[in-house]
Each structure stands twice: as C-alpha cells, then as structure tokens.
Structure 1
Amino acid sequence: MTRTSPLADGSTEQERRDALLIRARALADRAASDPRAVEEDAHALVLRARHASAHAAHAVGLRALAAVHRARWEHAEAARLLGRALRLGPRHGDRLVDAELLAARAAVRHGQGRVTGAVRDVDAALRALAEARDAAAGERERLGAYLELQRAALDHNAGRLRDAEARYRRILSSGRASDDVTVRVANNLALVLAARGRHAEALAWSSRAVAVASGLGPVPHVVTRQTHAWVTVHQGRLADGLREFAQVADAYRAAGLPLGEHHVEVADAMADLRLLPEAIAAAQDAADEHARAGTWLMWVEAQTRLAQLHLARGDAVRARELAAALLTRSRTQRRGAWLARARVVDSRARAALGEDVAGDVAALRRAAAGLRRHGDLAAAVDAYLAAGRAALTGPRPVRACADLDAAAAAAVRGPLLLRVRGRLAAATAAHVRGDDARALREARAGLRDLASHRSALPTMELRALASGHGGELGEAGLRVLLRTGDPVRVLRWMERTRAAALAARLPVAPPGADEASTGEVRQEEGGAAGPSPVPAQDVLRAVARGVVRAAPTATGPVLPAGAAEALAHVTSTPPPAAAALRAALDGRVLVELGACDGRYVAVVVDRRRTRLVPLAATADVTSALRPLVFALRRLADPRSAAAGAAARASAELSLARLRALLLDPLGLAGTELVVVPVGELHQVPWGALHDAPLALAPSATAWWATAVAPQRPSTSVVLVAGPELRGAREEVEVLARLHADARVLGPDASRARDVVLAVRDAGLAHLACHGLPRGDNPMYSSLVLADRALTVQELHAAGVAPRRLVLASCHAGADVAYDGDEVLGFVSAMLARGTRGVVASIAAVPDVEVVDLMVGLHAGLARGETMARALHAAREGVDTSSPAGFVNWCTFGAHGAA
C-alpha cells in the first residue's frame, strides 16, 4: 500500500517518489548531451530510488546511466542497464516510462547493429505509448517524435535515403519534437541531403542544427559541428571544412567522447586529398574502436571506407579480405545499401586481381539501381561505374554504355570530385561507341574540373596528390589521341597531364613561418628513421593550417596580412608553342614518354618534325628495371668480389635490355636528348643507356621554362660539406680550386639556416651531404647538415633556387612518381622554384669514389658547359672497373637545360 501520511518534512512517500522521478527525468534528458556532468548524480539517484522503492524513478535513473554509457560507446553496459530498468515495469506500472526505456534500448541495439531487435523495440515502445493514457500530451508528443526519429534513422542507416528524408522532414514540420530531437533530425537530414548531392540545402540544415545544439551541451554541439565540417568539405569549401575538422577533434577529446565517428569523417576528408596512408590509418582506427565497443552498425561503415581506401592505394588483396567480412556483416544487419557497397568493393578488388568479373554485372546493376533509388548519389555512381567496367570485360562491351551513362548522369549534380568520376564514365562510354570527339571533350572537361580543385590546395605535395583523381581521365584522353596517330596532339595532351603541380609558382613562406603541410607532422613523427603511424587528426590539423593560410573563406580572407594577395598572384607556366619548344631545344631532341593500356609510347620532337613511336610493354620494362635497382644497391656496398661481379653482370644485362626496349626503337644514337619519363621510368638511369649528353625533366614545359628563364646576375659558387660523410670535406676543398671566390661551408659550419641563405640565389651550389630518402613522402626527404636535417619541403617553402645545383647525396635524384603523372622530390622541387639545372643520383652514392666524377663535372661547368654536357664528359673519365665507379657512372643524371 502506498503511504500518503506526512513524513518528518511534511511530504508523503508518494511525493518523494514523484520528486525523484522528476529529478531522474531531468538527469536522463541531460545525459545524452553532457554525460560527464550527469554520471555521478545519476548513480546517486539510482541508489536513493532503489532504497525508497521508487521503482519508476529507479528505472528512469538507470536510463540516464545507460545514456552515459552509450555516449561512451559502452553499448553492452547500456543494454544491460536498460534491461534491468525494463524488468522494473511490473512494479511501477508506468507505461510512459516503459515506452521511454524501449525507445532508448532501440537506439542502443541499432548502434550494435541488431536491427531486428531495434525495430521490435520501436514497435513495442509505440504500443506502450498508446497505453500511457495518463501521460501529459506534451510528453506523449515528444516521445512520439523521438520514436519517429528512430524509424527515420533505421531507414537512413539501411540506405533508404529518400524514405529517411521524408520522415525527417515530417518530424521537423510537426513542431512536436524537443530541442534535442530537433537537433538530431536536422543533423541527420543534412547528412542525407549531402549524400544526395544537395550540398547547399544540407549546409543550411547543418547550420541550424549547430545553432540549436550550442545551447544543449558539449555532445550535440560537437556532433553537429562535425557534420557541418564534413558537408563543408564535400561542398568544395576545403579551407573552412578542414579548419573546422581540426577544431572538432579537440572538442571530442574535451567532451571525453570516443573518436570513432570522427575518424571515419577524417578518413573521408583525407581520401579527397588523396592522403591515402593517413586515410587508411584513420579508417582503421575507427573500425578498431567500433569493434572494441561492439558498435557493429558503425563498424560496417568504417570497414567499408577502409576497404575502399586499400583498393584506391592498390592493395586489392586486402580490399577483398575486408569486403568478404563486410558482405557477411551487412547481410546479418539487413542493410541493403551497405551490402551493395560491399559487393562493389569485392567486384572491383577481384577485377584488380585479374579475375573474371563479367558475371558480376547483373548484381552490380541491381546494387546501383537500389542505391540510386534510395538517393545515395556517390555510392550509386561508383556502383554504375563498377557495373560498366565489369560489362566491358564481357563478350559484348557495348552493353556497358548504359551503366556508364547512368554513372555520368547521376554525377552531374554532385560535388566536384564526383563530377570528375562522372566525366570518366562518360568518356569511357563515348570511347566504346567510337565517338572520339565526345570522349576527348569529357576527359578534357574532367581535367579542367580537377585543375580547379587542385588550385585550392596550398602545397606542391597536396597538388601532386590531387592529380591522382584524374589519372584515368588522362589515360582515357591519351587512348583516343593515340588512335588518331597525331603526335602533336598526343604531346599536347601529355603536357596537360604531366607534372601539373610543378607548374604553379607558389608563394614563398616568410622567414620563421611554421610548415603547413601534411609533411610537417610526418617529419616530426617519422624522422630520419623512416615513417611511423601518425594520428590522422594531427595530419589534418597541419593540412588545415596550410589550406586556411592559402585560401580565402566564403566570407573573406582568413590569412595573415598579405597572404591572400600572395595566393592571388600564384602563376602557372603555360605549355610552349611548338616553334618555341624547338627553338629552345636548339638541336637537341625531345623524347616524352607516356603509358596507355599497358604499353609505353614516345613522342619525339626534332628540328623538322614530331613523330610517334610505339615502345615496349610496361611489364617488360618492369622486369628489366627491378633487377637493375637491386644490382645497383648491391654494387654500392658489395659483400665480396664475387658478389660485386655478379651484381655488375646483372646490371649490365638490365641496362642492355632497357636500352633495347626504350631507346633503340627511336633511332637517336649519338644525339643529345631531353627525356621526359613517366611513372616508374623516373627510376631508370637514363644517362647509362645513351651515348650522348642527356637531360631529364618532369615535363617538356618544365624543361622549356629552365631553357628560357632569364639569366640571373649571381655567379656565386657555394660548396657545402655535411657532417660524418667520408670525403665530403676533401671533396669541397678540391672543387674550391676550380671556382674562384667560392664560399665553402664545411662539416661544422653547414648549419641549416646558413646553408639556406647561402644557396638560395647562388649561381652554382654543391651539397655533399648524407641524404635521407623518404619514399612515403619525398617532400620530407632530407639532407643531413651540421645542426639538423634540412628537408625538401623547407627548401621549397623558403624559395631556395640556385641557378644550378649539384646534389652529391644518396638518392637525391630519386624523385617519386605519383598517379596522374606527377613527380615529387628534391629535383622537381628545385626546378619548380626556378633552378635551371640539377645533377643528382637515383641511388646510393659511394662517398669517396664520387670525387673524381664531381671534379670532372665542375671542370665542365667552369668551362661554361650545360649540366648534361658536363656530366656526360665527366662520366667518360670515370673508372668503371670498380663497383663504386660503375655505380657513380650509372646513377647520376642531369635535369633541366642549364
């Protein structure tokens, strides 16, 4: 029997129970938005309510604690607490409390991926709510709106975006939802609209959610800001979005929230920037965190992104393994959209592994149609593309056109990078139909869109990575032009896609400015010993600083004074006209190489004509190049005379094969060449293949710029010796005798700042230092100086550009090729800044033995010869009978025209 007689303070037991229930509801309402502030009070209330046999308050207090645990992704504990609370139902008989508990458990089960259980709980909650006749109308309406949010979220996470959008809009228009529910609905609606390509409207709803959430507590505020950042990035406002993402990471930590969902969004942003190692690390962190927490719903999404990223990076084996796990989990969760994504990744991975995927076409078409029907724009485009590519491998390739056309049509109203993929689909369909003019128009338009995206990025590294989005478009256009057989148009197209990131003359960083690129973090974390995992949020923060400095926001500049003006004056070197290029060549012959459909091709430009020469299969060149790289590595430090002899024989055989594959078909023996490699051909020791002077360049445009650049007044010579390098001091002392008034910075004096200032505008600089290559990020390869390592990024940011530069350092000439025909490293960075000639080695440099080659080189330079001619003459004087002499003869190359 309920006691109604007064207690000592004048209240009855029932009144105390009612007060506890009111207090419990207040804590439960606050728990989701500020769990840290609520947890202690909720524990105390549960104890008081249990002691007072206030069963309804006890149940609601347990719901508050469950909300605290759910905010921390401790879903199993949250489910346990809610189960306890529901078992109190027969004791209190309050059906509104039961409905609230069932609604809360539905959300927990949904997060665990237990979709069927979540649906059952929502249905049970609606029945309980209908029976809660004593509840106030306002309470019933607010809980009804929350249950409608649950149903909309079930549609949303199942990929039924159109249905989810309709439900979200009904909730917002009803006016019955609490502020907390309104924020969640507006936030989720923004995500749906962005996925459907309606970014302006998505941003408007996201902004409304952020505004309301700011007064509700740290959790809704940080979640809505993250959505706002994500939509902003995908709308194309990179500077604003990345800056907000960096702030959100700090807010997540301050609120004590798990970072899993944030990691997923960061992975998306990194993928757009083609920072694939960082994106993979972020997605892996997200998947691991969701697995530990048992939040399998979000695990599927993180795992899907992880599989897609491994595929983008070329690891089809890993992508397929991940896709297999996704297929199983998506079926269990009955999530058709994510099952469709998993099928797309699985098919693409198997295709990359050389398997027959023609039988996948029907399933991929169904997946694409379902994704499009439900309004998932980007996923539908990818699925249609996968279906089209699979159909191209079948007996009737023309059947692929319908799928490719569908991909192109769906992408038209998407964000810029999705439109680039749509252009690829359209170009491919046109090629299949034999409509070369249309294929070329689509490829050209896609590359034009990509150039717009690239121009917003602040560093040469990010611009080079961005070109990877257009790698397939570049090859699509080249395929069409090769079919026409017009060498002039082929060369022009190659130049459109070649080393575009190097063409922009980016502003020089002011002295003391902090580094603003991903490499800033990579350098700090990876160091000289090599790369190590870097938290993706830290990389994103560094990128954000760079983008914010380099780009104006929608409302105005956010840069230090003068920085926006510097960006406005960024210029790019346009490709030269044919007559201008021939005039600059002055008797040399240009050989620009391209790759298409597994074969190399060369465009040859001489005094009178331009011609197209088919070359070897890329696989044949690879099979000749790989043993050469290994042999040169062994020759740099042979373990024995026998090992050295075997390596020498292997190297000479590989050189002969490469010469036969790449140069002999051109018929240019004895002719001075300018060679523009592509892809892995940047690893070829070209000078060792040819019997005349040879200069290298990242593009014909880049070489032409070095040839026509105005002469600088500076004729100063700077000779630098790094520490702990055998023979470095002696090397620069010998070279100083060839150059009057040369400035020498010895091993103890070669401090980084002094070296930068000395060589910045020198006429000729020579750096004899240990080189530390970074294949993961060549802009952070470095030279070891007296006080620290000096990176390529620092040299480039500071505008260091001596007229001519000799890098007598290991691997300093081993620039790294990227997708989209980009190349990064010491040489390309120096040429991009205005250096006109560089000599460097693609391999390890035998320290003492290199002196003879360097003396011969400098003797030629002192006589006024170009780098290519001086190096060719110096190589003829090298004693190649020793392993070290052979390596130096083989691996040094000249770059540029000076």
Structure 2
Amino acid sequence: MVTRVEAEELLRTLFADPAAARATAMADLVPDPDPAVSSVGHQVVGIVLRDLGETDEALAHIREALRLARRVDAEREADVRATLGGSLVHAGRTREGLAQLDLAAAGLGGVPLARVLVRRARVRAYYFAQLEEGAADLRRALALLDGSGDDVWQARALNLVGWTSIGLGDLAAARRAFDRSIQLHEALGQPGAVAVGVHNQGWLAYLQGDLPRAFELYADAHARFEAVGQTNTELVYDRCAAYLAGGLAADALDVVERAIVARPLLAVERADLLLALAGAALEARDHARARSAADEARGLLRAQGRLQPWVTAELLALTARAGSADRPGRLLHRVEVLIDVARGSGAPELPQALVLGAELAARSRSPRAAGLAGRWLDEASRFRNAATATTRALGWLALAQRRDAGRDLGGVLRACERGLTALDEHRASLGSQELRAFSSAHGAELAELGTRTALAAGGARRLLRWSERWRATALTVPSARSDAGTETDIAADLAALRAQHRRLADARASGEPTERLQARATRLEQSVRQRLLHARGSGETGASLDVDELLAALAADDAVLVELVEIRGHLHAVVAGRGRVRRLEVGGAAGATKAVDFALFTLRQAARGRRAQLDVAGARLQQALLGPALGRAGDARVVVSGTSALQGVPWGLLPSLAHRPVTSTPSARLWLSARTAAPADRDRRVMLVGPGLGSGGAEVPAVAAQDPGAEVIDGDAATVAASLAALDGAALAHVAAHGHFREDSPLFSSLTLADGPLLVHDLQQLRQPPHRVVLSACESGVMQPVGDQELLGLAAALLSMGTAGVVSSLAEVDDAATVEVMVALHASLREGGGLGDALLSARRQAAGDPVLAATAASFTVLGT
C-alpha cells in the first residue's frame, strides 16, 4: 500500500523523471482505494500527459483527481484545482484557468498556499502580462516557503522571480534568481528544471545584447532538454528570435519548422511557434507565409486572452501586408489600435509599431495621416536611448525620418550616424564573421537613408564617406580568436568533416547510398557553425574612412579609385584621385547586373573553345558599370569598389581597364588596410600547393621550374594540415586545387586537397595569413552578398584575416590556358611587380588567342 505522504512526494518531484512518475502513478496510485492516494495518481498522470500535448486525456485525469479530492479535504482539493487551472490555461482556456487558480488560493495558508501562488504567478505574468501581480504572488510564496524545507517549490518560485524581474526591468535580480534556482534544481537532481534555468539565463543574455552568450546558453539548454527527451517550445521561440537578431533567417526558419512537426502541440504552444514562424518568414521575405502564420497566431492568441503576444502577431501581420498594400490607408486603423494596445500594455514592440505606422501614414497622403506620422515618429525616436542596440538604432531611424520629412539634411545624417554607431557596438560583440555579416541587415534603412541624403546634400566627399559607412564593414572589424578549448573542438569537427567527405566521395564513386553520410556531414557543419556563433567579438569597431588619407595613398600609388554607389536602383560612380573626389551618374543598376551576367556567360563560352564576343561583352560592361568615370584618369592605375551585388566583375575585360593595372576591393577602407599590410614580419617563402587532382594543378611544376626558390607541396603530400602549415605566414601562396563555392553556406566553400576539402573555417585557424594568395581554381573568387553590403566567401575571408591581395577566378577557366596565365603572372611577381601589374602582364601575353584571353580576363585581383 502507498501512503498519502509517499504519493504526494511523487507529485512534488515528478519533473525529475516524468515518464517514471507516470508509470508509478498508473500502476500503484490510480488503482488505490484511498481517494487521497488515487487523486494524487490521477493528478500526476494528468500533468505528464498535459506536458506531452495530450490535452483531452490530461484534463480527464485531472478532473477525476478533483472529484476524488473533494472526498478528502480542502487542501487536496485546492492543489488539484490549481493544477486544473494551469492546465486549462496551457490548453488555451486562459480565463477559465485563472478563475480556477483564484478559487484554489481562497482559504489556504502555509506551504499549500505557496504552491498555488507560484502556479498563479506564472499564469498572471506569462499569459496575462500581469507582472506586478505575479511578482506579488511570488513574494508571498517565498515568504511562506522560507524555512519550510520544500526546495522543489522554492526553486520553481525563484525561476519565476527571474522571469518577472526581467519584465519589470531588474536584470540584476533576475540573474541572482536564475542562478539560485539552478543551484537548487541541480542539488535536487532535476535535469529538466536545470535546462529551463539555463534557457532563462540565455534569454537574459539575449536581452542584454550578448548574442554569442545567448547562443551558447540556448545550445546548452537544447542539449539538456534533448537528454531528458523534451521539446521546449519556449526555447524554440527564443532561439528563433536570437537567430533573427543575428540576421540568420534561414536558421530561424529551420528551428521553428522542425519544432512544429516534432510532436502534437497545445494551442498555447502552437500560437507561440506560429509567431516565431511568422517572424522568420518575414525576415526571409516570404510575406505570404508570414501573413498566414501571423493571422492564425492572432486568432489563437485572441481566444487565449494573451494580450502581449497578440501585439507581436498583429505587428507581424501588418508588416507582412505593408509592403504590398496598394492602399496603405486601409491598414491605418489597425495600426492605430495596435499602437494603443502596445502603449497600454508596455509591449516591447511599441517602437516597431510606431515606425511601421508612420511609414503607412506617410504613404496614405492625407492631412490626418501626415499628423499621425509625425507624432508616431516623435514617440518612436524616444527609444534611441534604449538598452538594446537594435532598439536604439530604431529610435535613431525614427528621428532621421522625422528630420527627413522636415528637409533637415544635416540632422538626418547625424541621426543616421548615431543609429549605425549603435549597431557597430552590437556587431563588435560578435566573433563570428557570418553573424557580423548577416546582422548588418539591421542597418539597411539607416545606411540607405544616410547615403540618399548625402547625395541630396551635395558634395562628392560626403557621398564617398557615406557610401563607405556601411560597406563591407564586417570584413574590417577585427576578429577575436576563440579560446583554446573551442579551437580544439572546431579543429576536431573539421577533421571529422573531411573524413566524412572522403566517405561521401567513395560512396558516390561506387554508386552506394549517400543519404546517411550526407546527413552526418550536415550535422558536423552545424556543429562548427554553432561553436563559431558562440565566439565573442573583440569589442573593436572598424575605423571610418579618412578621405584625405585615401587621396594621399592613391597619389603615392598613382592610382584612381572608382567606387560604385547604388541609390534607389541607380548607379553613381564616385571617382577619387589626384587630390579630388568627383561624382558621375552611370545608369540603372539592373542593366549593370545584366551586363555582368552576359560577360561571365561569354567567358565560359570562350573557355570551352566556343565562339564568344569578348569585345562586345567588355563594351557592355564599360557602358553599364563605369560610363564616363575614367574620362580624366589618364594612365593611372585603377582600384574599383563595386557594390556587394557587383563584386563578381571581370574588370580586365573592360576596354578602359584592359591595358592598365586594375584591382578591386569590397571597400576603400579595406584597400587602405591591405595596402599597409606589408610582409615585413613574415618569411619570404613562396609556397606552391598542388594536389594534382585530375588536370588541376598542372601549373605548379611549370611555375616551380621557373622559380627554384619556391617550396612545393604536391600530390598526396598536399594534405590540409601540411598545406595550412605551409600557408601560415607565407609571402606568396599559390593553391592549385579544384574549388567549390557553397552558395547555401559560403563559409563552407572549399578547395579540394589530397585528403579532403580545405574550408574557410580551416584558414581562419591560421596564426598569420599568407600575405598574398593566388587561387587558380574555377570560380574561386566568387563571393556571396549577404546582409546589407556584406560579402562571404573564400577570398573575402582571406581579406578579413589580413591577406593583402588575392588573385582568383570569377568564371570557368581552361586548364591548359591557366598554366600559361599563371606562369606569366609569377614571372611578373618575381620581377617585383604587384598583383595588378602581374595580371596585366598575363593579359598582354594572352592577347590574340581567344581561349587564353578569356582565361586571363576571368582572373581578378581582390585587394592590392
């Protein structure tokens, strides 16, 4: 026979092992003739079933527990009634559930009352946003639990204290409460509850703007939940929000899509995940899906009486509609209601709602709407001193838009600068290059408004500074190395990934199934990415462009910079050199993109020995990209900085550039940095790496024959480890290996060496990057535009690490022709020329042969 005390101890500790508690309750407690014991048994089973999403069966057990409890005493009845109330709320019947909790608390005292108060506090704070009322319940509960010896309920109460303290703005109190709660749950041996506490610590880090720490704690919590066989939808929602804060919409979508189908969901859980799905879809520019998910979430949340998350759902629904609304005035009434509710409930989405409302009001063009727009922007601008960088930036954007409406151009530029500075500080905390690049999307509107205003204000220098303000900033931010333990873990994962790729290649060659092998490779890639997302930044921000310094450097090199700027679909060329800066109009950005696509197609045709009109492609590029920009450049060297969408341009194909040294750079600031990256502290080694795969790498012996001092690693000796050791700090590194650009994940782009792929992540483990690098593989210079004016890829990663210049291919190249081009390039380098001079020499020697000329034109110099 089971005593009532033993039964209630099982109830108190059931979360330590819910499955075992349910089994014990069904076998020993539910059949017991004692109504007190049987009541506890049904209550335990109901709680476990509730948390598994089996709502109807759970409520049936809890109602049976309540029927039996009425035959026992008021304390047993109140406890079951509190469980019923929490379960009804969890099932979406929030008001009915709160009424049951209020009824349970009436007439109780001591520890039994404390347990009811903790459950009611959670409902009040989480579902009704009644933070003060929830905090009051928790204070009463902790006073009753103090000295009672009931560490289980004290730990639960402290966890909720942390949650409500965050909502009330006391983050220090939240941290103390979470830490103490975790300590108690660890001592009690409750790993699921510890996972909840770690999750909450991650949420606190996220709210404080420490995104790497949030990712680390969320990953820890996720692993802890998996270890006990649980899927926590609140963690899914928060991980999704963190990915979106980092600009990683695809990751956010993946997390929430997996959770939606993982198991049956309660109505409350489905509403939360639909909110996450809508936000992720919106960032991924899938407006139809965002609208559908947000609308369904709105309906569920309204039925559940959950006001604050309803604000989020309505904001997402309106944002999804705003971009395609032909008559934005139709949405204004909904926005007004949303703003009133957000303001009244203290919802954190208020500044976003105000900025959205101002945008719709400005587009509706009525006098009343204009007045609303101004008032809403004024209110939103007050958030420019908020705790989080993204909210501060939004406040500065609102102020800039308000000033823009008043034609205060100087005021617009100052506000945009302050907003971008807030985001600079945020990105300086991020150690992952991928995260820094994608998070730049948060500054897109500020950067666009600032650049557009600089154009309107006049002055080519001002436009150049603003063009540079948000261009390839992630590449100029100093990187912070991971700690030794993390680097070791990353290296181990990369080694395992290479081994997996070898297995994949063997399986494909023998016609064996590859699904499981590919899944394992994908998991290893995700492990590397997650570790890097946890890396903390250096705290340093990139320096702004000094135009006078740039002009002096250009004069010393007898060079001219042409920086392309896209403003509202139109290209402008800012030409700097010979002591001055000029601006020239070029043409439509869409036409430039088409010209680049045609040029790359033409080069591919020529590389395959087919008839190709290289001169026509070059003339189209000239007209679409530069127009009259080089009219006064004389014979100067040229440095070109295209927009992120115009980085893959074969500049040597343009008639005005074909007979002069030309290099390209993602930004003028990066060119200045590369120019001063002298190899004085490096050795003078020239490293030639050629694994000899297929016909690739044939230029290595040809170049080595011309340069007896060069060190060669080839054949089976050209492993990843040996190649990295050779590349570390080399003056010039030439890697002749097949390349693979990963459009879906540019930092997993690779070069195929003897024992597998050499990845961007491998290069980032170098102590000193090679000073100059030649990558002769097809398309080794391709970079992916991400975020806002940012780039990811093999060549971009090398520049961000401190490599001064990279020669790489933008298109498919002929292997035999590549040998001749590389031999000519190295001959010029041995004579002391720079990379631009060397590639010019190779183009000159290739003239007259269509395949050779196309191959030479396919290579470009990135950097200096």
Shift of residue 663, structure 1, vs aligned partner? 0.7
The 5 Å alignment of 1:186-335 reads 186-195=158-167, 198-216=170-188, 217-238=190-211, 240-289=213-262, 292-335=263-306
Say whether the 8 Å CA contact 1:282–1:535 is kept in structure 2: no
| 2:813 aligns with one of 845, 849, 873 | 845
Partner SS state of residue 797, structure 1: coil
Give the aligned residue type for 1:194. I
Give the aligned residue type for 2:163. L
Closer/same/farther in 2, CA of residues 821 and 549 from structure 1, 3 Å limit: closer
TM-score with structure 2 length normalisation?
Answer: 0.87
Which residue matches 2:685?
A: 716
Give per-residue Cα distances to partners, 1:317-375, cap 9 Å, x unaligned.
Answer: 43233233333433443434333322322232233447543422231232133123212
Closer/same/farther in 2, CA of residues 56 and 716 from structure 1, 3 Å limit: closer
Structure 1 CA distance for aligned equivalents of residues 717 and 522 of structure 2: 37
Closer/same/farther in 2, CA of residues 387 and 816 from structure 1, 3 Å limit: same
Give the aligned residue type for 1:695. T
Which residue matches 1:686?
A: 651
Say whether the 8 Å CA contact 1:145–1:176 is kept in structure 2: no
Number of aligned residues: 835
Closer/same/farther in 2, CA of residues 614 and 426 from structure 1, 3 Å limit: same
| 1:442 aligns with one of 412, 415, 439 | 415
Which residue matches 1:661?
A: 624
Q: CA RMSD in A?
A: 3.6
Structure 1 CA distance for aligned equivalents of residues 426 and 392 of structure 2: 11
| 1:149 aligns with one of 106, 121, 138 | 121
Structure 2 CA distance for aligned equivalents of residues 828 and 739 of structure 1: 28
Partner SS state of residue 741, structure 1: coil
**Which segment drifts farther, 389-398 or 675-684?**
389-398
Say whether the 8 Å CA contact 1:279–1:536 is kept in structure 2: no
Partner SS state of residue 323, structure 1: helix
Instruction: Indicate the percent of aligned positions where both proteins have the same amino acid.
Output: 27
Say whether the 8 Å CA contact 1:584–1:707 is kept in structure 2: no
Partner SS state of residue 845, structure 1: coil
Which residue matches 2:589?
A: 618
Gap runs ≥5 in structure 2: 505-514
Closer/same/farther in 2, CA of residues 708 and 146 from structure 1, 3 Å limit: closer
Give the aligned residue type for 1:57. V
Partner SS state of residue 838, structure 1: strand
1:164 correspondence with 2:135 = no
Shift of residue 534, structure 1, vs aligned partner? 9.4
Closer/same/farther in 2, CA of residues 719 and 387 from structure 1, 3 Å limit: same
Partner SS state of residue 717, structure 2: coil
Which residue matches 1:895?
A: 862
Which residue matches 1:592?
A: 563
Closer/same/farther in 2, CA of residues 497 and 165 from structure 1, 3 Å limit: same
Give the aligned residue type for 1:689. L
Shift of residue 203, structure 1, vs aligned partner? 3.0
Partner SS state of residue 660, structure 1: helix
Give the aligned residue type for 1:783. L
Which residue matches 1:414?
A: 387
Shift of residue 405, structure 1, vs aligned partner? 2.5
Say whether the 8 Å CA contact 1:717–1:762 is kept in structure 2: yes
Give the aligned residue type for 2:166. A
Structure 2 CA distance for aligned equivalents of residues 867 and 445 of structure 1: 38
Structure 1 CA distance for aligned equivalents of residues 292 and 431 of structure 2: 36
Which residue matches 1:583?
A: 553
Say whether the 8 Å CA contact 1:266–1:536 is kept in structure 2: no
Give the aligned residue type for 1:191. W
Shift of residue 63, structure 1, vs aligned partner? 0.4
Shift of residue 613, structure 1, vs aligned partner? 2.1
Which residue matches 2:509?
A: none
Closer/same/farther in 2, CA of residues 535 and 324 from structure 1, 3 Å limit: farther
Give the aligned residue type for 2:653. A
| 1:477 aligns with one of 450, 461, 480 | 450
Say whether the 8 Å CA contact 1:599–1:618 is kept in structure 2: yes
Partner SS state of residue 602, structure 1: strand
Closer/same/farther in 2, CA of residues 407 and 543 from structure 1, 3 Å limit: farther
Which residue matches 1:13?
A: none
Give per-residue Cα distances to partners, 1:226-263, cap 9 Å, x unaligned.
Answer: 11221123213445444433332232233332243322
Shift of residue 172, structure 1, vs aligned partner? 1.6
Partner SS state of residue 614, structure 1: strand
Which residue matches 1:385?
A: 355
| 1:514 aligns with one of 470, 474, 488 | 488
Structure 2 CA distance for aligned equivalents of residues 500 and 578 of structure 1: 20
Which residue matches 2:511?
A: none
**Which segment drifts farther, 791-800 or 212-221?**
212-221
TM-score with structure 1 length normalisation?
Answer: 0.84
Which residue matches 1:771?
A: 739
Partner SS state of residue 815, structure 2: coil
Give the aligned residue type for 2:340. A
Structure 2 CA distance for aligned equivalents of residues 856 and 535 of structure 1: 40
Structure 1 CA distance for aligned equivalents of residues 522 and 55 of structure 2: 25
1:68 correspondence with 2:48 = yes
Structure 2 CA distance for aligned equivalents of residues 325 and 144 of structure 1: 32
Give the aligned residue type for 2:642. P
Give the aligned residue type for 2:688. L
Shift of residue 193, structure 1, vs aligned partner? 4.6
Partner SS state of residue 780, structure 2: coil
Which residue matches 1:101?
A: 80
Give per-residue Cα distances to partners, 1:446-502, cap 9 Å, x unaligned.
Answer: 222222222222233333233332222222221221111121122223333222222
Partner SS state of residue 781, structure 2: coil
Shift of residue 626, structure 1, vs aligned partner? 4.5
Structure 2 CA distance for aligned equivalents of residues 240 and 352 of structure 1: 34
Say whether the 8 Å CA contact 1:102–1:122 is kept in structure 2: no
The 5 Å alignment of 1:800-879 reads 800-878=768-846
Shift of residue 46, structure 1, vs aligned partner? 2.6
Gap runs ≥5 in structure 1: 1-15, 552-566
Say whether the 8 Å CA contact 2:257–2:277 is kept in structure 1: yes
The 5 Å alignment of 1:698-713 reads 698-712=666-680
Give the aligned residue type for 2:120. E
The 5 Å alignment of 1:751-766 reads 751-766=719-734
Structure 1 CA distance for aligned equivalents of residues 819 and 14 of structure 2: 72
Shift of residue 432, structure 1, vs aligned partner? 1.9
Structure 1 CA distance for aligned equivalents of residues 276 and 296 of structure 2: 13
1:400 correspondence with 2:373 = yes
Shift of residue 538, structure 1, vs aligned partner? 8.5
Say whether the 8 Å CA contact 2:824–2:838 is kept in structure 1: yes
Give per-residue Cα distances to partners, 1:378-409, cap 9 Å, x unaligned.
Answer: x2222222212222322155642322232232
**Which segment drifts farther, 434-443 or 510-519?**
510-519
Shift of residue 61, structure 1, vs aligned partner? 0.8
| 1:794 aligns with one of 746, 752, 762 | 762
Say whether the 8 Å CA contact 1:264–1:286 is kept in structure 2: no
Give the aligned residue type for 1:39. R
Shift of residue 89, structure 1, vs aligned partner? 6.2
Shift of residue 695, structure 1, vs aligned partner? 0.7
Shift of residue 414, structure 1, vs aligned partner? 3.1
Closer/same/farther in 2, CA of residues 435 and 520 from structure 1, 3 Å limit: farther
Shift of residue 719, structure 1, vs aligned partner? 2.0
1:499 correspondence with 2:467 = no
Give per-residue Cα distances to partners, 1:135-155, cap 9 Å, x unaligned.
Answer: x743662355256326514xx
Closer/same/farther in 2, CA of residues 579 and 264 from structure 1, 3 Å limit: closer
Structure 1 CA distance for aligned equivalents of residues 607 and 160 of structure 2: 60
Say whether the 8 Å CA contact 2:603–2:855 is kept in structure 1: no
Which residue matches 1:119?
A: 95
Partner SS state of residue 488, structure 2: coil
Partner SS state of residue 748, structure 1: helix
Shift of residue 105, structure 1, vs aligned partner? 2.6
Partner SS state of residue 862, structure 2: strand
**Which segment drifts farther, 763-772 or 662-671?**
662-671
Which residue matches 1:564?
A: none
Closer/same/farther in 2, CA of residues 894 and 171 from structure 1, 3 Å limit: closer
Closer/same/farther in 2, CA of residues 250 and 510 from structure 1, 3 Å limit: closer
Give the aligned residue type for 2:381. A
Which residue matches 1:361?
A: 332
